[in-house]
Amino acid sequence: MDDTHRGTSPADRFNVAQAVSGEPSDVPALMRDIGGRARLAARRLAIATAEEKNEALRAMAARIRDASAAILSANAEDVAEAKAKGQTSAFLDRLTLNPERVESIAAAVESIAALPDPVGRVLATFERPNGLRIERVATPLGVIGVIFESRPNVTADAGALCLKAGNAAILRTGSESFRTSLAIAEAMGQGLSDAGLPADAIRLVPTRDRAAVGAMLSGLEGNIDVIVPRGGKSLVARVQDEARVPVFAHLEGICHVFVHAKADLEMAKRIALNAKMRRTGVCGSAETLLVDRACAATHLKPLVAMLLDAGCAVRGDEAAQAADPHVTPATEEDWRTEYLDAIISVRVVDGLDAAIAHIETYGSHHTDSIVTGDAAAAERFMAEVDSAIVLHNASTQFADGGEFGFGAEIGIATGRMHARGPVGVEQLTSFKYRIRGSGQTRP
């Protein structure tokens, strides 16, 4: 920190104009300051009541509504810059806000207030022979760093989810939605203050400088407890490679539907169609259809025809190619590819074991489904496929926190540590042991 700014923190010195212009600045000092403030805010949040947090969430929603004009104006600048840079129309559509979209951002924050409080839940209790009463009780995790691409709504969603679980959040948005996200974050900070909670509890990184991401991945000197990346594969891969703190993420969703010998054909068609085509760009969409050789004679051709009819390109092994002339050859690489598009790879496998082996070899431990009338085969599939979510007779597109009843999710994790599957507010908590005695000492 230089002398002329003595008494002013680096965070205070930042302003939007400076940040947007990319003017050189002391990013490491800024990020250290943000980390320290987040930790202090987290200590306050850890003892906040459910009602304090919910009041803050409702105040944030109100402040977002009040700031609608400012948010839309900031967004117009972001959109203009993105247009000038030649972004695609799909990108511009995701970036562009209108009054209805601002309202839905505010409403989403309110809906998080309505969820049950995940902190303070008694997860287990045991009374010991010596009379000690031990409770495992849910606590906040601490400070959560969220790194996301240019989706304006994530600023509000992620900040609100972290707050609900008593955590401070340090948010890093993609460059293209920087002004919009700053305007939303400012409204959220005002809402926190309105409710008597520290505005530092939700903080957008106020610079586009890429060095800020590296600082977050280093953990800000112990002041970030976990990082959640939300975005494409390259963002997640970088975070997973470089983060020195735990990461809740999935790199990709190479999801499978396995049509077992005992599958009902109509159900298999319905599930395969929905798993692939309901939305092709989501992580829970199916990328590979495996068909049991024992039912291929009856099931393969109708399944392939149904997918082709629905406008899906089909890449298949020899059996699938034989089923329809429109099937193109699948290469080894296809089994490892997350298309995120109306393309599916189709393979005939020799029974349950071969299906499991294929999924364990090529899958991404995200979400996999078996269609079968054979309960024992289903149980084996669900036991042996090592994925966060395994389904029997249901579409892989149910891989979503909302569909699980979690209310909202910050992402889906495929790691095995702490959180796995949809990461809702419960997964954003840790726990502690509370022990109540009457003077016990240990023999």
Would you state the structure tokens that stand for residue 264, as one six-digit string?
């009902």
Closest CA to 149 of 250, 251, 75, 229: 229
Residue of 273, 289, 296, 320 interacting with its own copies (CB under 8 A):
273
Smallest separation (angstroms) from its own copies to the CB of 386? 7
Smallest separation (angstroms) from its own copies to the CB of 146? 16
Smallest separation (angstroms) from its own copies to the CB of 222? 10
Q: How many residues touch its own copies (CB under 8 A)?
A: 60
Tokens 């908590």 sit at which residue?
429
Tell me if 6 contacts its own copies by CB under 8 A: no
Residue of 264, 324, 338, 374 interacting with its own copies (CB under 8 A):
264
Angle at 388 between CA 286 and CA 159, to 5 degrees: 95
Residue of 126, 309, 333, 361 interacting with its own copies (CB under 8 A):
126
Collapsing DSSP states into helix, strand and coil, what is residue 101? helix
Smallest separation (angstroms) from its own copies to the CB of 292? 18
Distance (Å, whole) CA 264 – CA 259: 9
Q: Which stretch binds its own copies (CB under 8 A): 40-48, 151-159, 195-203, 209-217?
A: 40-48
DSSP letter, residue 247: B
Residue of 23, 107, 114, 128 interacting with its own copies (CB under 8 A):
128
Would you state the structure tokens that stand for residue 80, as one six-digit string?
């203009």
Would you state the structure tokens that stand for residue 53, as one six-digit string?
């947090």
Would you give the binding string for its own copies spanning residues 363-402, x where CB under 8 A is met? ---------------x---xxx-xxxxxxxxxx-xx-x--
Tell me if 139 contacts its own copies by CB under 8 A: yes
Using the minimum distance from each CB to its own copies, give the nearer residue, 331 or 440. 440
Residue of 90, 234, 297, 442 interacting with its own copies (CB under 8 A):
442
Tell me if 141 contacts its own copies by CB under 8 A: yes
- On whether the CB atoms of residues 246 and 225 are closer than 8 A, the answer is yes
Spell out the residues 6+ positions from residue 70 whose beta carbon is closer than 8 angstroms to its own: 183
- On whether the CB atoms of residues 424 and 401 are closer than 8 A, the answer is yes
Residue of 420, 423, 424, 425 interacting with its own copies (CB under 8 A):
420
Distance (Å, whole) CA 158 – CA 285: 23
Distance (Å, whole) CA 413 – CA 150: 20
Distance (Å, whole) CA 13 – CA 235: 29
Q: Which stretch binds its own copies (CB under 8 A): 61-69, 70-78, 262-270, 311-319?
A: 262-270
Smallest separation (angstroms) from its own copies to the CB of 404? 6
Spell out the residues 6+ positions from residue 103 whose beta carbon is closer than 8 angstroms to its own: 65, 68
Smallest separation (angstroms) from its own copies to the CB of 392? 5
- On whether the CB atoms of residues 378 and 370 are closer than 8 A, the answer is yes
Smallest separation (angstroms) from its own copies to the CB of 24? 31
Distance (Å, whole) CA 389 – CA 260: 18
Distance (Å, whole) CA 312 – CA 309: 7
Tell me if 271 contacts its own copies by CB under 8 A: yes
Using the minimum distance from each CB to its own copies, give the nearer residue, 354 or 394. 394
Tell me if 50 contacts its own copies by CB under 8 A: no
H or E element: which one contains 122?
A: strand 122-127
Tell me if 237 contacts its own copies by CB under 8 A: no
Spell out the residues 6+ positions from residue 178 whose beta carbon is closer than 8 angstroms to its own: 19, 20, 78, 208
Smallest separation (angstroms) from its own copies to the CB of 129? 9
> Concatenated DSSP letters for 124-186?
EEEE-TTS-EEEEEEEE--EEEEEE-S-HHHHHHHHHHHHHTT-EEEEE--GGGHHHHHHHHH
Using the minimum distance from each CB to its own copies, give the nearer residue, 24 or 439. 439
Tell me if 358 contacts its own copies by CB under 8 A: no
Q: Which stretch binds its own copies (CB under 8 A): 81-89, 181-189, 265-273, 296-304?
A: 265-273
Torsion of the alpha carbons at 338, 339, 344 and 346, rounded to the nearest 10: -40
Smallest separation (angstroms) from its own copies to the CB of 384? 6
Would you give the binding string for its own copies spanning residues 304-343, x where CB under 8 A is met? ----------------------------------------
Using the minimum distance from each CB to its own copies, give the nearer residue, 86 or 443. 443
Q: Given the rule CB under 8 A, which residues bind its own copies?
A: 43, 46-47, 126, 128, 132, 134, 139, 141-142, 225-226, 246, 264, 267, 270-271, 273-275, 278, 360, 378, 382-384, 386-395, 397-398, 400, 403-405, 416-418, 420-421, 430-442
